[in-house]
Amino acid sequence: MRAAIGDGTRAAAVFYLGKNFRKPKSVPLEQAVAMAHAVDVPVIVDAASECPPVSTLTRFTEAGADLVIFSGGKSLQGPQSTGLIIGRKELISACAVNGTPFATVGRPMKVSREEILAFIKALEIYLNRDHAADAARWEGKVRYIEAKLAGISYVSISRIDPEETYAVPQLKVTIDPEAGLTGDDAVKSLLDGSPRIVVQERGEEGFSINPHNLQDGQERIVAERCREVLTSGRAG
């Protein structure tokens, strides 16, 4: 990374994926910031989906990032075409130069006034949400699905620990090779069935379930369909 940055004349910025913030094999953000800032190169963090917790909105800038980008249409629950940039004022002003009403490269990415106002309202709502209640609701859905899938032959259920910058509990469903059903088979069956269930693909070994967008009661549908698919072959 130091070699790629060089003396700063070959690098416009260092782009850092927020998902790698605490992963063991990643360069720590603080170290990336130190290397870049040593030659006056800014660091931009892509934190599009790195909420909850709400503290994620500030933790990357506190770690030294110059700009942090969040999606307006994911956890913040605003219009899908909107977003949020946090960071150094002069760099945000530079971003604005490429947005409406300036017809430059930003023109194809124009966001309407209505969407901007909708995003501001969505952000206000998000900041004032009962985040503890959200966490309790996700945990309840995960526990329900976990209990309904327990005891299926050739299938093991485990937890995926919430990450620092995406604190939503998730389930990992691992399918034994002797089950007569692969993870890819299960994902396809869930997607092609009725109702259609979308899970996170994890290759041949299984899939994972994320309760983030489930409405109340939908965890029952997910659990029922998953159990149906997982017991359709020898997995029963």
Name the stretches of the chain with pLDDT < 50: 234-236
Q: What pLDDT was estimated at residue 108?
A: 63
By C-alpha distance, which of 196, 212, 204 is closest to 160?
A: 212
CB proximity list for 203: less than 8 A, separation 6 or greater: 183, 184
Q: Torsion angle of alpha carbons 86, 214, 141, 69, nearest 10°?
A: -10
Could you tell me where the DSSP H helices lie in the chain? 2-5, 29-37, 56-62, 89-97, 113-127, 131-149, 183-192, 218-230
pLDDT value of position 107: 60
pLDDT digits (tens, 9 = 90+) for 173-228: 999 988 889 999 999 999 999 999 999 999 889 999 999 999 999 999 999 999 99
Distances from the Cα of 36 to the Cαs of 72, 126, 182, in angstroms? 28, 32, 44
Candidates 203, 200, 220, 207; CA nearest to 49 is 200
pLDDT of residue 162: 79
Query: Residue 235: its pLDDT value, please?
Result: 42
- Structure confidence at residue 135 (pLDDT): 93
Q: Are 174 and 158 in contact (CB under 8 A)?
A: yes
The tokens of 198 are what?
């979308």
DSSP 201: E
What is the dihedral angle through the alpha carbons of 21, 40, 94, 113, rounded to the nearest 10 degrees? 10
Contacts of residue 110, defined as CB under 8 A and 6 or more positions apart, other chains included, come to 99, 100
Q: How far apart are CA 28 and CA 20, in angstroms?
A: 8
